[in-house]
Structure 1
Amino acid sequence: MAEAILIEGQRAWLKYYGEGSRAFALGLLNLVAHRFGMDALRPPPHRGGEQARDIEARRLAELREQGVNVPAVIGEGRAALLLEHTGDSFNQCMRDADDAGRDRLVKAAMATLADAHARGAYLGQPLPRNMTWDGENVGFLDFEEDPLEVMDLPTAQARDWLMFGYGVAKYYDHRGEVLQDLLIEAMERAQGPVVEQANEVTARLQSLARLLKRAGRSGRVLAQAIFALHAATSLGLVLLTVVCVDWLIDGQVDLLGMLG
């Protein structure tokens, strides 16, 4: 839980860390993800109290070192952190915007996420509710869990795209093709192993997505995210395969020359 406070006229956030919970639900999800080979969906441990505070403080320091826009830690308590204010709720900005405005916000977020990955970073839960917007820059929040406890870096970065795609899909309920095109553009900057992981997970979820399309708005949103991400990562894999084959044939990437 986070509470807005004022310090010398400047807004800040006091975040409290309650006791950890959800052990059964997380264990079940971990079992299912492992059983069906979807490592990117494995949940990291959800701790509470001082442990959660320490994880978030460490992750914030790591991400700031990597040049990612996250809050500075202003102070800390026994099970609390005082965090810098980095902008308005991205979720609220998406709600308030028209279609064109949402597209601009999503493009900015995708570019920021891709840049963070290029710096070797991973976010964990880049959902709109865990992001900020100050009119120019996208920021990220909520780091009390660490995905690298249960997966490697490429898988954690693939998880970021899966989380982000699901998070924004509800704003593209009737514009799925637009979200798909935005994701295709974003995937051009993703590393091969990241694209492969995201593609593998969404491929395994295709049958579920077809069922979810008939399960109300929440189901449609999840299905929309699965289909859009799968299409985007499939194109990325096709291009990657073509480039690799091109290189193996004669040691040159002729395709790049043609495109140039």
Structure 2
Amino acid sequence: MDYHAFGHSLIPSSPHTRTMCGELDGRKIWIKLPVPPKARIWHHLQRILASALGKPILRYTVSPGGGESLYKEADRLCAFKESGFHVPDVLGVYDDMMVLSDAGPQLRETLDKTKDLQTRTALLKTAMLEMARLHAKGLAHGRPYMRDMTWDGTRIGFLDLEEDPVRVMPLSTAQARDIWIFLSAASRFSRVPGDKLRYEGPLISDLLTTYREQADPKTMQELNNLVHFLKPVRKMLDRSWLWGKIGTDARQSVYVNRCLERDLGSSSAS
């Protein structure tokens, strides 16, 4: 059975998901289906707003969807692999699906299972160092959430390269965006056990230090600019009476921006 036929054989058992896995010739194989084209009216409005404010970082980066998006993601996966990064092998790409090798468990899954604080922090620092190495190679992930990275026990890998921010913004801006997203995702591990509303500890500062030691000054300046730009929104949401009413993602974003304002001294950013 070829990869394309194998992929079609999996679809009936998972009709409501875009990604599915199965075993072929003793090997774990992943199938990824395209999403419908995503360009919607608010994406165009977002582009207009980004242009009006002179903020390329606000440009939307979502995949255009359709078969074309699979070919573009396959190209990015191959480029990452050629640059020495651990990503799934592209076994086949077609108009209606992409076939990939397994790259290991999701990083988030591993972190959630890791109860020892020092071990978990060390793994997050390993992931941050790999992000720094990625950026040093002139690349950007686009969506570096913990679920879009892997850990096979020895190395960090990257998944789901659908979003290519470098298409719509300068590299240093895209890399600053990467770091802000990564830290926001990592902040869930700063949450006080048993209290979903409280965040504390040095994790965000430690991860920023880990990255900053390897970072391009242009990327750090772009990160400082982003944090400064978001500060008014952070201050609006960072109120005790509102804290329990906003969602978890919003709380994590507020917490991270507050930490970065302190650590970067963003009040003087332009």
Tell me if both proteins adopt one fold, taking TM over 0.5 as the criterion. yes
In the TM superposition, what are the counterparts of 1:6-45 in structure 2 within 5 Å? Answer: 6-21=23-38, 23-44=40-61
Percent sequence identity is 29
Matches of residues 91-240 of structure 1 in structure 2 within 5 Å?
91-98=108-115, 99-173=117-191, 174-213=199-238, 214-216=242-244, 217-234=248-265
Structure 1 position 72, deviation (Å) = 1.0
Aligned pair 1:61/2:78, yes or no?
yes
1:232 Cα shift?
4.1
Q: Is the 8 A contact 1:123 1:160 kept in 2?
A: yes
Unaligned 5+ segments in structure 1 are: 239-260
CA gap 1:225/1:130 in 2 versus in 1, 3 angstroms: same
Residue 33 of structure 1 deviates from its aligned partner by 3.9
SS of structure 1 residue aligned to 2:125 = helix
The total of aligned residue pairs comes to: 237
For residues 26 and 88 of structure 2, what CA distance do their matches in structure 1 show? Answer: 17
Change in CA separation of 1:82 and 1:188 when aligned onto 2, cut-off 3 Å: same
SS in 1 for 2:143: coil
SS at match of 1:205: helix
The one-letter code sitting in structure 2 at the alignment partner of 1:225 is V
Query: 1:24: Cα distance to partner?
Result: 2.6
Deviations along 1:126-153, one digit per CA (max 9) or x if unpaired, are: 1111111111211111122321221121
**Can you give the 5+ residue segments of structure 2 that lack an aligned partner in the other structure?**
1-17, 192-198
Maintained 8 Å contact 2:140/2:166:
no
The change in CA–CA distance for 1:97 and 1:12 in structure 2 (over 3 A counts) is same
Structure 2 counterpart of 1:181, which letter?
D
In structure 1, which of residues 67, 74, 89 is the aligned counterpart of residue 106 of structure 2? 89
Q: Give the drift of 1:67.
A: 1.1
Displacement of 1:3 after TM fit? 0.4
Contact 1:55 1:146 in 2 (8 A): no
User: Partner of 2:142: helix, strand, or coil?
Assistant: coil
RMSD: 2.2
Q: Is the 8 A contact 1:184 1:233 kept in 2?
A: no
Q: TM-score, normalising length from structure 2?
A: 0.80
Q: Do 1:4 and 1:12's aligned partners in 2 also have CA atoms closer than 8 Å?
A: yes
Do the aligned partners of residues 165 and 81 (structure 1) sit closer, same or farther apart at CA in structure 2, a change above 3 Å counting? same
When you count helix as a share of all residues, which structure comes out higher? 1
Distance 1:162 1:73, change over 3 A: same
Amino acid at match of 2:81: R
Q: Give the letter for the 2:215 counterpart.
A: A
Amino acid at match of 2:91: I
Tell me how far apart the structure 1 counterparts of residues 259 and 211 of structure 2 sit (CA, whole Å). 12
| Structure-2 change in CA distance of 1:188 and 1:233 (3 Å) | farther
CA distance in 2, matches of 1:109, 1:136: 11
